[in-house]
Amino acid sequence: MLKRMIDTSVSFVLLLLLSPVFLFTYIKLKTSIGSPVIFKQVRPGKNEVLFTLYKFRTMNNKKDGNGNLLPDHERLTDTGKWIRKRSLDELPQLWNVLKGDISLVGPRPLLVQYLDLYSADQKKRHFLKPGITGWAQVNGRNEISWKEKFEYDLYYVENQTLLFDMQILWLTVWKVLKKEGIEQEGGVTPFEGNKIQ
């Protein structure tokens, strides 16, 4: 309950304080990419309950000759790269925090299609609410393997405390300022399940 109170208070204050940044980002994307500016996608939350995640859209909708969307890294615009590098695309998720869909800190909400690919241990990441940032994000984010990401998520699930959350939030601010672990050459590799040795 205390974690929820902190989430609500901090997200509300940040939404107010960062409203000029929201407006700046909105205008920058509106003039460079067009509508819609907000990207919406259904993700699994706590206990795998689905919710709609909000982010600033950083990719265009260009398609190939067959009408299929081009790969993500080909649709990521220069403006989108600039916004992602500063993690401004994540700001609308503060609304998700205020609504109670996610927390400030927790395992990142991944794609719905990954649900059937998890091992029993990996499914434990849904014991808690997902978060804007998490233990995996401050330990490499897009620069570490899926195996490492899930190990960090499980460690957080088993060791979550408010003090641990404060540590992660502080490290997140530091990582954002240093622009570390944000982009990966060719885009993020999709999770394809656990290969049986």
pLDDT tens string 82-124: 998 888 999 999 999 999 999 999 999 999 999 999 999 999 9
pTM: 0.87
Per-residue buried b or exposed e for 113-126, using 16+ beta carbons within 10 Å of the residue's own CB: ebeeebeeebebbb
pLDDT tens string 35-55: 899 999 999 999 999 999 999
Q: Which residues are registered as beta bridge partners of 191?
A: none
Pairwise pLDDT comparison (74 vs 192), residue with the higher score: 192
Measured distance CA(163)–CA(134) in Å, rounded: 13
Residue whose entry in the numeric block shows the structure tokens 């902190």: 6
